[in-house]
């Protein structure tokens, strides 16, 4: 049996178990996208976003190459783990890219900077900490993750924040997030609810 990704992990209550693609889109995807959209509406964020993507505009071929490499890695992974590359799986891979984009815009780029703008620069990494706490908490409520997985999401978010702080390259971070998220959740959610346990 193929070991499924985080969305297929067991839940204490099967009635609230999140395993359908539609549930993920409405609960997780919509929530994260709305947060990112609100952040981008803050007046100074679009210019910061544009600046953080400047390397992509300067050398797009480099980022297309990295994205191509991630795509090849995904295909190899699917083949080696006996997963089918069907339409549902393709939509899932696209979804993982889009969610990586909106999560990085919202939680790594925008929220710490918005907090800094309103409350001062002295506590920047505290704002990063709070942003990633929010990031992990939203996964707990929208995807019904276990606390253990949410702690890992928080730690991963802090690592992503450090990468962004050191490189100032949001495009690179989105590609990295996409690759790691796929490896953590390689299988598209199923149509029916699953009863799998860890």
Give tens-digit pLDDT for 18-50.
668 888 898 999 999 999 999 999 999 999 999
Site of tokens 């815009």: 105
68 to 51, 72, 110: CA distances (angstroms): 24, 6, 27
pTM across the whole model:
0.87
Give tens-digit pLDDT for 177-196.
999 999 989 988 875 443 43
Return the structure tokens found at 72: 């090849």
């Amino acid at each position: 049996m193929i070991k499924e990704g985080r969305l297929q992990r067991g839940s204490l209550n099967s009635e609230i178990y999140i395993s359908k693609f539609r549930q993920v889109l409405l609960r997780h995807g919509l929530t994260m996208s709305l947060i990112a959209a609100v952040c981008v509406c803050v007046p100074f964020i679009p210019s910061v976003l544009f600046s953080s993507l400047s390397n992509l505009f300067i050398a797009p071929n480099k980022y297309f190459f990295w994205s191509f490499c991630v795509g090849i890695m995904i295909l190899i992974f699917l083949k080696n783990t006996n997963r089918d590359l069907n339409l549902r799986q393709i939509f899932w891979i696209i979804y993982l890219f889009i969610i990586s984009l909106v999560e990085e815009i919202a939680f790594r780029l925008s929220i710490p900077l918005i907090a800094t703008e309103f409350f001062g620069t002295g506590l920047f990494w505290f704002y990063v900490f709070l942003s990633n706490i929010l990031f992990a908490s939203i996964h707990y409520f929208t995807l019904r993750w276990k606390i253990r997985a949410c702690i890992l999401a928080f730690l991963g978010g802090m690592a992503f924040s450090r990468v962004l702080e050191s490189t100032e390259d949001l495009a690179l971070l989105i590609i990295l997030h996409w690759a790691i998220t796929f490896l953590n959740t390689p299988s598209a959610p199923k149509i029916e609810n699953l009863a799998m346990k860890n």
